[in-house]
Structure 1
C-alpha cells in the first residue's frame, strides 16, 4: 500500500498556512519531502520572509488541514503548556505589531539572508509574549477577535453579492449594443 501524499503547505501573510498547489497553482516543494517539517493541526510556523503585510515575517497556525509538510526554511513550533496558553489568543497576538521591534533588535547584522530575516530559532522561541494570567481571559479575547473575523467574512460576502446584483441590474438596464 502506498503512503498518501502529504499536503505541502506554505505561509501566506493574508491567508495563513495554505496548500502550495492552491496558492501557487503549482507544487513548489521537492518531490522528496522527507527532510521537511511535519506540521500538525494547531501548530504554528514562522516565515522569516518579509513582505508589505508582514514586515518581520508571518506567524500562522495550521487550521485547515490535519497535517502538512513545510520547508525547513520556516520555523515550526507548538504550545508546550496548553493549560496556560490559548492557541487562538496566540494567533491574534501574532497579528499585531507588538512583537516586531523585539524581532528586529535580534535580527543579526546584515539582517537579510536571501530575502529572509536572519533571526535564529533560539531567539525567536525566546520572544516574550504578553499573556493575560488567566487562560479563561485569553480564551475570551480569542473568541472576541474570532467573532470580529467572522463578521468581516460575512460582510465581505454580502458586499460581493451586492456588487453582482448591481452588475446584473446595470447589464439588464443598459444591454451591450451590437453596433459595429
Structure 2
C-alpha cells in the first residue's frame, strides 16, 4: 500500500524587493516630544541606549534630527561585528516609540508580510550575500556602506501568509525555549 502524505505548504515562495514591502521611515523628532533614545545591537536587538552604553550618548538637544521609530519598525545598523558581518537588522519589539540616530536605516512594513517571519529572516545570513555584493565596508572598517536605493532592492523570500506565520511562530517558540534553558543553566550554576 502506498501511503499518501499531504503537504500543508506546497505553494512557491515569491521573491520580493524590500522596497516593495517596506518604506524607509523619515519622520524626525522635530518637536522633541519623544525622548526615549534607542539603539540597535547585534546581540540584544533594539534596546534603550542607556541600557546598552551605561550612559546617554545622545543629548536631548540633538535628538530633534533623530528618526521616530514605532513598535514593529525594523532598524539596520551599519556597524560591523563578529556576529553581524554586514551589520544587524532588528525589529523594535519594546512596545514603545523611541528615536534612533540618523546613522541607522529605519523601515516599516507596508505590505501584508508577517513581521515576526521577517524578523527571523534577518537573524539568518540569507541576506548577507546581497549586502556583500552590493555594498562595501567603506572608508571605516567598522561600518558597512550601502545606499538606501540599493538597500531597498534587497530580495526577500516571501512564502504564503499562513506559512510566514508558521515559520515566525516556530522560531519564536524555539528562541523562548533556548532562553528558558539558558536561564535554568545559570540558576543551577549558582
Cα distance in structure 2, aligned partners of 1:103 and 1:163: 41
Q: Deviations over 1:47-101 (max 9, x none)?
A: 11110010000000001141110000000001110x2x10000001101111111
Give the conservation status (yes or no) of the 8 Å contact 2:34–2:98: no
Matched, 1:128 2:155: yes
Matched, 1:153 2:168: no
Cα distance in structure 1, aligned partners of 2:47 and 2:139: 24
- Counterparts of residues 7-18 of structure 1 (less than 5 Å): 7-18=36-47
Deviation at 1:4, TM superposition (A): 5.8
Cα distance in structure 2, aligned partners of 1:135 and 1:42: 17
Deviation at 1:113, TM superposition (A): 3.3
Give the conservation status (yes or no) of the 8 Å contact 2:138–2:144: yes
Root-mean-square deviation (CA), in Å? 1.3
Q: Whose relative contact order is higher, 1 or 2, with alpha carbons under 8 Å and at least 6 apart?
A: 2
Tell me the TM-score normalised to structure 1 length: 0.83
Structure 1 residue runs of 5 or longer lacking an equivalent are 165-180
**Count of aligned positions:** 157
SS of alignment partner, residue 130 of structure 1 = strand
Instruction: Please say which structure displays the higher CA radius of gyration.
Output: 1
